[in-house]
Chains A and B, each alone.
Chain A
């Protein structure tokens, strides 16, 4: 059984005010080509198809094109909704499309949709678990006491899995969209407001392979049977060092070995960072050898702000996404103001330095005496 696992398409996303739609179109076409080549039995899309619950029209059109193209290859397609998707909208027409082997799962009502495919070794059950929070599980089982007491994500997912009644004698694959403990986060993921949304990896132990979505960096959790395919494109500058890919899994017989392989993707525009002084980066020698139309974050090391830096740089790097400075000033911005300074200066000292700065000379003794007496009076009255 061969299937392809991808996730976190975020179709329609804008990064630093740049629309990624064209890059996405390019990469999805690339993926379609690979599918045509390898002819897997199934393509699993583990959530976050769109970037917003109400995606823009062009995003919907692009995804429509993509799914249709996949469907034309004859492969089964299984899509679950992620935390960015609107579950109901995504699963529009799912019951009709089911018949054609295109499976959409949006909401969770207690029953996990299962797709069973056969290979030479027998059945493979694909369980499609969309993004759930404890509240979803609770509302799916209003009469179940155990369900009502679920509070953490781990407990909720564990409960949902138990309810699937997995037959461990057969091969089982789970498609899920969660943040699993131990996973490495990237800047472009959305953290849950509240924080503790992670699921322990143990809950997936019943499955022969868990196709995860949510984290944008391709990575295994523990071993390769619990894996994030990662996003097909780099969506933030924290991902610049990653190699974007889709995952291809060849599932052996039960208990046997499986092969997990990354198929690398090549985008139109890469995302990278360039650091240096303004002079250096605008030097012909520097940029003549690099792809200047990539999505770039430029970090200037000049101590002072360069006037019209952005404009000038844009002339060379048309797709400059961000401009940052790394100098004394920015480093000090990050340091919190300390509690020294005024708090430890007495009112008299403050007055003295103030007087000096305003009058150009210090106070004489008589003045000092008058002021300190007054200070005693004014501050004393407060106590």
Chain B
């Protein structure tokens, strides 16, 4: 188990999360954990042990109190460890029980111990004890073994040295797989126990078999049996002989008893016979008396039955009467048929009656409805009389209004037109003005141009002039200063153009003037007509005023128009209706008449039916006068009744006659019997009843007791037989068991080391001593070196006392003194190096043997302070040599000299305020 990374939070003096990269310490060699006292060195090893097993490195240190006193209530306490084992990496996180602040709300809560282990391959194990269990499986050792061979805790190294054989047995069992031997020993022990139990059981079987034997028939035998029962281990012979004797005796006795029994039986039979005869005689006497007594009774019975029989005559007469009644009824069956027919007819008539009544009622109802309808229609017709007139009147009004409206519209149009024309006129006039202006302008320009042209004549002339040529004006041939054409002087062509322009302008103006005038003319005409209309229609002269009035009136009229139009619609509807109503009226009248007719008819029918019904009723009454019953059915019932009565009467008569015959016969029989019995009684011989009874009683008693004896003897014999055979069986088994026991017992006792008188070493321990010897040899290599050849370990050959187990006790050989001493006599420093050597030897052997448990790391907590500098040097040398390349040995020590010797260090510094800090230094 090589730790790779350790992370401590809130644990011991480590408040802050402290991470130590232990992988950087390498795979082998020594490293030192150093720091001031109380800085937290041991807590590092505690953390490792805790992460693995949930407990601290030394006893007396508790995980419960591990929470750092520096931690705030909100901080956690936790240890994380990554470690490597057999090439695989594992990650375990664990926390102890501690009190922290509640996550929600005030106050504190207890965080339960918890752990999580991540295995290579992804599987996760959760839960404190589960993780510990898993780690045990993985590493192959539990915490105790860990403490013994991997973690030498502070102040506890002596324990390994001083432990007793029992403790070592447990340790070695785990380390060297000697458990099978232990199991073998316990198996043997179990087998031995089984055999013993079998033996015990057999012995108790024997005792119970003896118990079943019964010798109560003989006093002497009984005494012998009791004596045997009292002994613990009865001998087979004495029992067998006793039982055989008993069987002999009992058999003899049984024979005698059988004979006696026979005799008694005979006596008893005799006695019984006598008694039987006496009883019979007595019985017969009784019978005789009884028969004689019953004569009287029988005679009386005959009398009675006779009388009853005679009375039957009355009944016969009654029967005849009933017969005639029946015949009578039979005769009137026809009439009954008739009656039934009439009843049926009556029913039919009633039905018809009901039907008719129903129809009548309906017809009446309909009639009423038709009447109502007719009168309504009449009334409606009356109302519509005037509608036509109203409509015509309305239409007139409507037309008038429409006309007026159109006139007003015309007026408005005219006015608009006028207005329009006014606008147009203005426009034209404006345009005219502008055109005139333009023409004027152009004129002006033209005049100017002309003037300029004229003025330029001189220049023009001059330009045409040649020197020497005479001037057209003055005729001079010499032109010293010809006139110059000024800039912008217009040419004749330009003037012509301009003149054309002017002309056009003037034409435009004239045209425009004309059109304006035309418009004006229109305007005046319209104005005139509009004013006319306006005056006529609105009485206003002014067009604007007129317009306003017209608009107002028009609006009113349009409103009226609307109303008229809607009224018109209503009235039109009404007039349509009045046309429709006449045929309806006609039809209604017709319906009504029909219905009246119908009701009358129905009434007539009804009356007729009633009459016929009365007739039928009368007929019914007539017939019924002659009949007794209301219906045929009733009559038939009566007939059946009569027949039954007759039958019962006949039965009664027969019974009486039977009774009489019987009585007679009984008397006859009785008389015969009496005769017979008298004969028998006479022929009997007297005997003494009393004596006979006694004899019989005695005989019985004798027989009973003899029987009892027989049974008793039989039981005893059976018991003894059974007991004997059982005992023989048991004897055989016991021999076998005893032999088995011998064999196994010694094996079991040997294997468990409980042979009395011998030193108590068990099989397992024997095997373990072999390993222990090897461990000692390895340990000695170191011890010899460190102690300068002075000390060596030896296994003690003799136990201190013969009671406790021995075999793995340790002694120290002092070569300087040549003596052997118990380990406890070593000094502190010597104990330390001795236990260190032992631990090293043990771990060496564990790895070398086939156990497969690999220890890649070791931890030694203090102890070096007790060594002087030379021994310290030797110890370091030993550890270094041991560690080599594949064992990482960590030592905690405050010894100053080690700091300079060992390059790989974990330095722990204490800060009283904030908890400790630790970090890895590789020099």
Contacts and interface: CB of A to CB of B under 8 A. Distances in A.
A119 B755 CA distance: 92
A378 B903 contact: no
A361 to B, nearest CB: 10
Interface string A110-149: 0000000000000000000000010100000000000000
A164 interface: no
Given A191-B877, A334-B781, A305 B815 contact: yes
B550 to A, nearest CB: 115
B382 interface: no
Ranked 9 nearest A-B pairs via Cβ: A305-B818, A307-B818, A310-B816, A324-B789, A337-B774, A342-B770, A135-B923, A337-B777, A354-B766
Contact of A14 (B183, B773, B869): B869
Interface in A311-362: 311, 322-325, 330, 333-334, 336-337, 339, 341-343, 347, 350-351, 354-355, 358-359
Interface string B900-914: 111110000000000
A14 B867 CA distance: 13
B184 A325 contact: no
B770 A341 contact: yes
Contacts of A366: 743
Interface in B180-212: 180-181, 183-184, 187-188, 191
Contact of B747 (A14, A194, A341, A370): A370
B747 A337 contact: no
B903 A53 contact: no
23 contacts: A53-B897, A193-B880, A193-B902, A309-B817, A323-B790, A325-B789, A330-B789, A341-B770, A342-B767, A342-B771, A343-B849, A347-B184, A355-B747, A355-B750, A363-B747, A366-B743, A370-B744, A371-B188, A371-B747, A374-B187, A374-B191, A375-B184, A378-B187
B637 interface: no
A307 B923 contact: no
B868 interface: yes
Contacts of B896: 53-54
Given A53-B900, A358-B758, A374-B187, 14 more contacts: A14-B868, A51-B869, A193-B901, A307-B817, A309-B815, A323-B816, A342-B767, A343-B850, A350-B767, A359-B746, A370-B744, A371-B188, A371-B747, A378-B184
Nearest to B781: A333
Interface in A40-92: 51-54, 83
Interface residues of B, number: 58
A305 B763 CA distance: 32
A15 interface: yes
A283 interface: no
Interface string B723-761: 000000000000000000001101100110001001001
Contacts of A51: 869
Interface of B: 29-30, 180-181, 183-184, 187-188, 191, 743-744, 746-747, 750-751, 755, 758, 761, 763, 766-767, 770-771, 773-774, 777-778, 780-781, 784, 788-790, 792, 813, 815-819, 848-850, 868-870, 873, 876-877, 880, 896-897, 900-904, 923
A334 B789 CA distance: 12
B755 A359 contact: yes
A324 B785 CA distance: 11
A367 B180 contact: no
A382 to B, nearest CB: 6
A337 B778 contact: yes
A302 B183 CA distance: 45
Contact of B868 (A17, A192, A325): A17
A15, A304, A310, A374: residue with the most chain B Cβ atoms closer than 10 Å: A374
A202 interface: no
A58 to B, nearest CB: 15
A181 B819 CA distance: 45
Contacts of B181: 347, 350
Contacts, number: 128
Nearest to A371: B747
A307 B819 contact: yes
Contacts of B774: 337
B761, B778, B923: residue with the most chain A Cβ atoms closer than 10 Å: B923
A89 B289 CA distance: 158
Contacts of B848: 339
Contacts of B813: 305
A53, A337, A374, A378: residue with the most chain B Cβ atoms closer than 10 Å: A337
B902 A52 contact: no
Contacts of B743: 364, 366-367, 370
A306 interface: yes
Interface of A: 14-17, 51-54, 83, 133, 135, 190-194, 304-311, 322-325, 330, 333-334, 336-337, 339, 341-343, 347, 350-351, 354-355, 358-359, 363-364, 366-367, 370-371, 374-375, 377-379, 382
B873 A193 contact: no
Contacts of B877: 191
Given A358-B750, A358-B755, A193 B876 contact: yes
Contacts of A305: 813, 815, 818-819
Contact of B784 (A191, A304, A333, A375): A333
A219 B784 CA distance: 31
A171 B178 CA distance: 73
Contacts of A310: 816-817
B644 to A, nearest CB: 100
Given A53-B897, A323-B789, A359-B746, A193 B819 contact: no
B654 to A, nearest CB: 101
A378 B183 contact: yes
Given A53-B900, A333-B777, A193 B870 contact: no
Nearest to A324: B789
A17 B815 contact: no
A53 to B, nearest CB: 6
B755 A322 contact: no
Contacts of B763: 350-351, 354
Given A371-B747, A378-B183, A193 B29 contact: yes
A325 B784 CA distance: 11
Contacts of A337: 773-774, 777-778
B918 to A, nearest CB: 20
A155 to B, nearest CB: 16
Given A15-B870, A16-B870, A305-B815, A190 B901 contact: yes
A325 B815 contact: yes
Contact of B187 (A354, A377, A382): A377
Given A53-B897, A333-B777, A370-B747, A309 B818 contact: yes
A185 B139 CA distance: 41
A133 B923 contact: yes
Nearest to A307: B818
Contacts of B869: 14, 51-52
A354 B873 CA distance: 44
Contacts of A374: 184, 187-188, 191
Contacts of B870: 14-17
B792 A308 contact: no
A343 B774 CA distance: 12
Contacts of B897: 52-53
Contacts of B923: 133, 135
Contacts of B788: 16, 322
Contacts of B777: 333, 336-337
Contacts of A193: 29-30, 876, 880, 901-903
Contacts of B792: 333
B850 A194 contact: no
Nearest to A375: B184
A367 B747 contact: yes
Contacts of A358: 750, 755, 758, 761
A347 B178 CA distance: 10
A378 B789 contact: no
B201 to A, nearest CB: 21
B188 A354 contact: no
B755 A378 contact: no
